[in-house]
Each structure stands twice: as structure tokens, then as C-alpha cells.
Amino acid sequence: MTRRAGNAITCSTASAFLHASRRLVLLVLASVATLIAVPAVAEAASVSWTLPGMADASAAVPFRWSAHPKPGSRLVVQRQEGTARFWRTVLGLPGSPSGSASLPGLPLGTYQLRIADIGQRGAVLAQQPRALQVFGDVPFSTLFNANVEHQAVVGFNGNTGPGTATTPTQTFQYAFGGVAGVGNPAVTVTDNNCRSIHFDFLPTLPEEGVPSNYVGATGTITVVQQTLDPVSATAPLDSGGSLDAALVPGQSWSMNSSASLPQPGEDSFYIYVNGYASCDSSVPFTSG
């Protein structure tokens, strides 16, 4: 009986020791695995947005964005300013994955903008820049400035302007004028920062009315460009006409004039011109 009890005690002790040893080994292995485990790589911050390339002056500019900002960072829209090209925050955004917002209206100009995720110490964690051109209507009285070197009104025989043309039926304020069909092209612009242009024009024999030998006479202006088809408009003598044309910023264009006379050999008449253009700058047009 005593021997059996001793054997039982010995077996029980051995079993407990074996069990404890296995647990110790498992704990050691788990500890080693924890020590050598490769830490997970945090996802990098990212931002993107959809912003139009052109906008109207003083009008809000809508856009959409998507982002994965870092915790504790700031999601902002910034504008580059000054000769040092300093980025100034113009709009703060919520740190949500996506959304829509509007930039405050801007004056005429070309702007460099970016959406950015800014860290707690001012570091740029992610960014996406965009250029924005802001356009507005600029009158011909500003764009065609006779005091500017290489001003754009060239070759217009009898060129005059600005001033007022008076006919028996109306008074017309003009930026420039000249004899139709003589010295074409009348206007050449090589430094163009406009996207569209509107002309008002008046073919006339100033203060003379329409003599019988000029009945049926018409005046035409034509806009010619590098990559767009020419566009023209025609108006009878002493009757105003208008012309609208799209322009390509950065491409040169010219305006020609012509006269259609019912009786060959008659002297031509004047065409007076006014209007405005949608530009991203109010700097006068130049031709050289």
C-alpha cells in the first residue's frame, strides 16, 4: 500500500512539473514573438481636390475634396502670396474623408492654390496644388490705351480715339476708330490674357448722314485668331453693330475692318469701336 501511494505521488508530481514546463515554454515563445513582431506601418496622409481652372471675379469658387489626414493635423486650402511665395491659409476644412466647399471670390488674376494636410508643427504632410485664373469684364477704354508703348491699335488710317461720334440719329462713345478697310489689320494683340471679347461698332460718315451715293453701304469687322475660325459682323452705315468672339488666353489675335460701297471709287467711311473683354488682368493690350 505504501509503495503504491508513493508511486502515485511520484507520477502526480511529474505530471504537474511537465504541465508547468509546457506553460513556461509557451509563455517564453509568446514573449519572443512579441519582441520580434514587425510594427504595422501607419497609412500616409493624402489629399486631392477638384477645382475649376477658370472663375469669374468676386464669385465664389466651388470645389470638392477627398482626404486621409493624419490624426491631430489640419486640412486647409492655401494661396501662394508675395515674392517669397508664402502659403497663406484662406479656408479651413473639416477633417472628414470627403466633402464640398467654396472659396471666397477673388479679384482679377492668376492664383496658385493648394489643398494641404498640415501637421501639428506646421509640416506639410500632403498637398495638391492647382492654378486658378480669375476673369472679369475690362472696358476698351482701359485695354486700348494710347499712352502705352506698343499699344494695340495699329495701322488704322485716320486713327482717332477715344471720343464721341455723332450722327443724325445717335451719339456713340468709342475707344478708337479709323477709316474702314484702310491699313488692315486695324488691331493686333500679341500679349493676350482674355478669354472672350465684345465689340460695339458704328460705320458712319460723321455728322453727314447717309448721302444718296452711300445708300446700302455697310461696314464689317472681323476677328482673326491663331487656332479659332474668324468671326465677323456687318452693319449698315449709321447703324450700330456688335460682335462677340471667344479668345484663347496666350494666343495672339487681330481685328480687321472693311467697307462695302455701292458705287466703286467712292471714298471709304469711318468705323468707330467700343466694347469690353473678359480678362484676368486689366493691363492694356500690346502689339509687340
Q: What is the pTM of this model?
A: 0.78
Q: What is the mean pLDDT of residues 181-208?
A: 85
- The total of other beta-carbon atoms located within 10 Å of residue 45's CB is 20
Q: Where in the chain is the domain with CATH 2.60.40.2550?
A: 46-135
Q: Where in the chain is the domain with CATH 2.60.120?
A: 144-279
Q: Using CA atoms, how far apart are residues 239 and 165, in angstroms rounded to an integer?
A: 12
Confidence band for 32, pLDDT divided at 50, 70 and 90: very low
What tens digit of pLDDT does each residue of 168-185 get?
A: 888 999 998 888 876 555
What's the fold here for domain 46-135? Immunoglobulin-like (2.60.40)
Q: Using CA atoms, how far apart are residues 154 and 161, in angstroms rounded to an integer?
A: 12
Q: What is the mean pLDDT of residues 121-133?
A: 96
Amino acid at site 149: E
What's the fold here for domain 144-279? Jelly Rolls (2.60.120)
**Three-class SS of residue 221?**
strand
Query: Which pLDDT belongs to residue 20?
Result: 53
Q: What is the mean pLDDT of residues 206-233?
A: 89
Q: % helix / strand / coil in the chain, to the nearest 5?
A: 15, 45, 40
Confidence band for 19, pLDDT divided at 50, 70 and 90: low
